């Protein structure tokens, strides 16, 4: 998997929404499971959501179910994370990553990572 570049982070108030995007330079993008993780300083990077290469299955951590939606556009080599009803505890750096395995939830399952985009949710 080639380079991954995230965008769409920013500051939002509680209850607001953000859509993160991650563009991949890999031409075989559709072959990869794509995932989103997040990390707070001093804590381990944690799984948020993942999606199969053919967009037939998704997986979410419990904290994101019902609020977050992962999707992809293989024609645009892009994976998205729509985040609604944001809470202060969602504040973190969000990373996209690529894997060749399904399901993929562990850090070690993913072979390529973006540089991250900061999401800050305030009262």
Q: Which tens digit of pLDDT belongs to each residue from 34-77?
A: 999 999 989 999 999 999 999 999 999 998 899 999 999 999 99
- How far is 33 from 98, CA to CA, in rounded Å? 6
* 3-class secondary-structure state, position 41: coil
**109 secondary structure, DSSP code:** G
Banded model confidence at residue 1, pLDDT cuts 50, 70, 90: low
| The pLDDT of residue 52 | 97
Question: 102: which residues sit within 8 A by CB, 6+ positions away?
Answer: 33, 50, 52, 57
CA-nearest of 84, 88, 113, 109 to 99 is 109
pLDDT, position 26: 83
Confidence of residue 27 (pLDDT cuts 50, 70, 90): confident
Q: What is the mean pLDDT of the chain?
A: 96
């Amino acid at each position: 998997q080639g380079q991954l570049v995230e965008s769409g982070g920013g500051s939002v108030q509680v209850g607001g929404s953000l859509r993160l995007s991650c563009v991949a330079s890999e031409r075989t993008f559709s072959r990869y499971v794509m995932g989103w993780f997040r990390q707070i300083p001093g804590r381990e990077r944690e799984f948020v959501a993942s999606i199969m290469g053919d967009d037939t299955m998704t997986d979410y951590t419990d904290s994101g179910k019902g609020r977050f939606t992962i999707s992809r556009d293989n024609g645009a080599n892009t994976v998205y994370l729509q985040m609604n009803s944001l809470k202060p505890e969602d504040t973190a750096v969000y990373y996209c990553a690529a894997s060749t395995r399904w399901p993929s939830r562990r850090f070690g399952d993913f072979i390529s990572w973006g540089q991250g985009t900061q999401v800050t949710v305030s009262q």
